[in-house]
Structure formats: structure tokens, C-alpha cells
Amino acid sequence: MKIGIVCYPTFGGSGVVATELGLELSKRGHEIHFITYSQPVRLELLSSNVHFHEVHVPEYPLFHYQPYELALSSKLVDMVKLYGIELLHVHYAIPHAYAAYMAQQMLKDEGISIPIVTTLHGTDITLVGSHPFYKPAVTFSINKSDAVTSVSESLKKDTLRLFDIKKEIHVVPNFIDLEKQEHNFTDCQRGMLADENERIITHISNFREVKRIPDVIKIFYNIQKELPAKLMLVGEGPEKEGAELLVEELGISDRVVFLGNSNEIDRILCFSDLFLLPSKTESFGLAALEAMASGVPVISTNTGGLSEVNEDGFSGYLSDVGDVKDMSENAIKILSNTDTLNSFKANAKAQSKKFDLRNIVPMYEAIYEETLKKFLVH
Ligand code: GMT
């Protein structure tokens, strides 16, 4: 099948999922065309089955806002015609589902039919999409998609609660390539960042307010009072400056390392003992799954889809949003005894197996086939 994938090319979870999905589909014989404004960060290897088409938005002084969705829909039309793309899979409703619908209508005018599969990732629904400024356009684009998927049951419920949706929503959870994980980094080189007796705690995100970075730091502050530990903060975003100030204020600068954005997440997780994700909202929590696949237990909140990923008392613990005390106590419970830590590490790995890409990617393939079949009949 020739599939066009539209996504954000950044370090955000939706872009990562879209890229890993495209790469796996290409291995399974499909021809994949990534169409976005720059090369997705995890798209390192281009092969004869994987193409990347950049969307340019020409600067024009008259435009106060550059019209990306216009440029994207035009690019989609051109690429569908040039490469004979049979289906568009758009990740993140805003503005991708909207632009894809426009492309679909333009192509229809030229006698070309192409179905759209839209995957909802979370913030396009829970934070941005439901804002009154966007809601009518988001509702319209979801309802006009030929198939709709969401990354968790919780996100499906939120979508149905917040929007007037007439389409069936298929839940297809995010996934992880466990085989790739197995082969990566047997030599973790943890000595480069921490002493032998120190526990390594990690947080990875885009440092937006929703990630509750001050909670990450406060939980770590409580942990390091009880046992020797280091905190690795991975990512960049608006909350980073405040985080640096809080770390200094608490007098723990020598125990906190800011690593910035990284393409070496596997390497960092390889030497981590515990992952912190105290988010205010999280439709799935791909970062938590990536941690678990590396055998790192997760201390998270119980918001959104996190309880579908992290099993309380098994792969880690879940607490209410903002309950720093409970999250700190749970973290210390796991970290203070090596046997307990090792059994949580093994459990985390076992839990991640539920999300092996070999089980999940065929779910997308089945949706593509079903959608194409229905679409061609009409
Ligand atoms: O969490 C973010 O800020 C990034 C965001 C995105 O759209 O890239 O992540 C969302 O999609 C991920 C992939 O499906 C999910 O794992 C994240 O839970 C979800 N984020 C939120 O719901 C806040």
C-alpha cells in the first residue's frame, strides 16, 4: 500500500509514534511518504520504501500568520498525484485532519479518491482542540475522516465527551519495538553520570506546563533526602528555565543534570532506575512506555490513559495529580531496596510487552484495509 503520513516532526509523542509506525510499515512492504515541514527527528534512515516531502510555507509580509494548512493541503494534493498515494494517515487533528480533508476535496474534483485515517493523540483533543476557537473545525475534521483512531480508551472517552462525534473511534494503543530495545546498549556506561551507589531518576518530556516539572523536582528532592540519587532531566521547553531556578533554590544543582533534547533516549533509559511522569493530563504517556521497555519502573499520576500503560503496584505506582508526597513515598519504596527495585524493573519490562509493535502495527494495517475497502465501494 502507498501511504502518506502527516505528523509533527518534533520530539513530541505524536511525531515519534507516526515516525516509528511509518518505519515499521515500510519494513512490512508498504511505501511510506512522510509529508511535514521538516524531517521527523526519529527518521534517520531513508530507504527506497521511505520518502520525505517537505512542506514549505513561503513568507509573505501581508500574512500576519503563515498559512501552513494551505501549503500542507496543496503539498498533499501534489504528492498523492505524483506518487499514487492510496491513503492518508494524519497524526494530530490540528491542522492535519483539516488540511487532509481539503486535499481530499481538491483531489475529488480531479477524479481522484483517497481516504483519510486520523489518529487523535491527546493534546489535539484535551488541551487545544476543545478550545472554542478550534472546536467547530476539529469536530468537522474528525467527522469527515474516513476512520478515526485514538491512542487510549481514556482519550476516546474524552473525545466523545468534548465533541459531537458521529464516527466510530478505534482504540489503537501506542507501541514500542521491543526487539530493537533488546539489541541496544548492553553497556550502559552509567559511571559517566553517577556513582555506583547512586540511584538514577529520569524524566523526559517537552517541558510544557502539563508535565508539572516542579513536581518532578520536588519528588526528586524528597528522594535524595533519603538515599543517594541523581536526576536526569531530558528535553527542552517553556518550563525549563523555571526548573533550573527551582533546582538552584533547593540547593540540589550538583545532583540534577539537564541533558536537553536527545536522540539517545535508549542510552539514557538504559542506566535509569526510575522514571517520573507526574503529568496533569496524559492521553497515553509514550515516554513512560519507552521507560518500561528499558526495564525502568514508572512513578506517574493516574490521569488520562496512564493507568492503561502503568500498572499500579506492578510496573510502578499511580497517584493523584499533584500528590507529591505519595509519589515521593512510592519512589522511595521502590528505590530503597535492591530486590524490590529489581522486581519492579522486571515487571516494567513485562508490562511493556503488551505494547509490542508486532501486535499493534497490524491493527493499523487492518484499519487501512477496511477503510480502503469501504471507501472504494462508495
Ligand atoms: O505530551 C505532549 O506534550 C506531546 C503530545 C503530542 O501530541 O505529541 O503527546 C500526546 O501524544 C502522545 C503520543 O500519542 C501521548 O503519549 C501523550 O500522552 C500525549 N500527551 C498528552 O496527552 C498531554
Percent of the chain with pLDDT over 70: 97
Q: What is the DSSP string of 174-227?
A: --B-HHHHHHS-SS--GGGTS-TT-EEEEEES---GGG-HHHHHHHHHHHHHHS
Helix (H, G, I), strand (E, B) or coil at 298: strand
Give the CA distances from residue 188 to residues 194, 266, 267, in Å, rounded to whole numbers and listed in that order: 12, 10, 7
pLDDT of the residue at 196: 87
**Is 123 near ligand 1, meaning CB less than 6 Å away?**
yes
pLDDT of the residue at 45: 64
**Is 26 near ligand 1, meaning CB less than 6 Å away?**
no
**Is 117 near ligand 1, meaning CB less than 6 Å away?**
no
**Is 75 near ligand 1, meaning CB less than 6 Å away?**
no
Rounded to an integer, the average pLDDT of 90-109 is 96
pLDDT of the residue at 184: 60
pLDDT of the residue at 33: 97
Cα of 141 to ligand 1 centre, how many Å? 19
Higher pLDDT, 179 or 272: 272
Task: Answer yes or no: same fold for 2-175+357-377 and 179-355.
Answer: yes
pLDDT of the residue at 10: 83
Of all atoms in ligand 1, which is nearest to the CA of residue 8? 8
Cα of 111 to ligand 1 centre, how many Å? 36
Amino acid identity, residue 171? V
The model carries a pTM of 0.93
pLDDT of the residue at 188: 75
The rounded mean pLDDT for the chain is: 94
Mean pLDDT lowest among 121-135, 194-208, 302-316: 121-135
CATH class of 179-355: alpha beta
Give the model's confidence band at 39: pLDDT under 50 very low, under 70 low, under 90 confident, else very high.
confident
Higher pLDDT, 104 or 374: 104
pLDDT of the residue at 301: 98
**Is 151 near ligand 1, meaning CB less than 6 Å away?**
yes
Q: What is the pLDDT of residues 268-324, one digit of tens each?
A: 999 999 999 999 999 999 999 999 999 999 999 999 999 999 999 999 999 999 999
- Contact at 8 Å (CB) between 37 and 9? yes
**Is 282 near ligand 1, meaning CB less than 6 Å away?**
yes
Q: Which residue in 137, 189, 199, 187 sits closest to 163, CA to CA?
A: 137
pLDDT of the residue at 377: 75
Q: What is the pLDDT of residues 312-352, one digit of tens each?
A: 999 999 999 999 999 999 999 999 999 999 999 999 999 99
Residue with CA closest to ligand 1 atom 20: 282
Four-way CATH pick for 2-175+357-377: 3.20.20.150, 3.40.640.10, 3.40.50.2000, 3.10.310.40: 3.40.50.2000
**Is 283 near ligand 1, meaning CB less than 6 Å away?**
yes
Q: What is the pLDDT of residues 213-249, one digit of tens each?
A: 999 999 999 999 999 999 999 999 999 999 999 999 9
C-alpha cell at 183: 539489541
Of all atoms in ligand 1, which is nearest to the CA of residue 155? 22
Rounded to an integer, the average pLDDT of 135-140 is 94
- Contact at 8 Å (CB) between 331 and 274? yes
Boundaries of every domain in the chain:
2-175+357-377, 179-355
Of the residues 125, 128, 284, 290, which should be mutated to test ligand 1's pocket, given the most ligand atoms within 8 Å of the CB?
284
Rounded to an integer, the average pLDDT of 126-136 is 85
Q: What is the CA radius of gyration of the chain?
A: 21
C-alpha cell at 262: 536527545
Of the residues 151, 156, 283, 307, which should be mutated to test ligand 1's pocket, given the most ligand atoms within 8 Å of the CB?
283
Other beta carbons less than 10 A from residue 136's beta carbon = 11
Q: Is 261 left (phi over 0), alpha (psi -120 to 50) or beta?
A: beta
Cα of 197 to ligand 1 centre, how many Å? 34
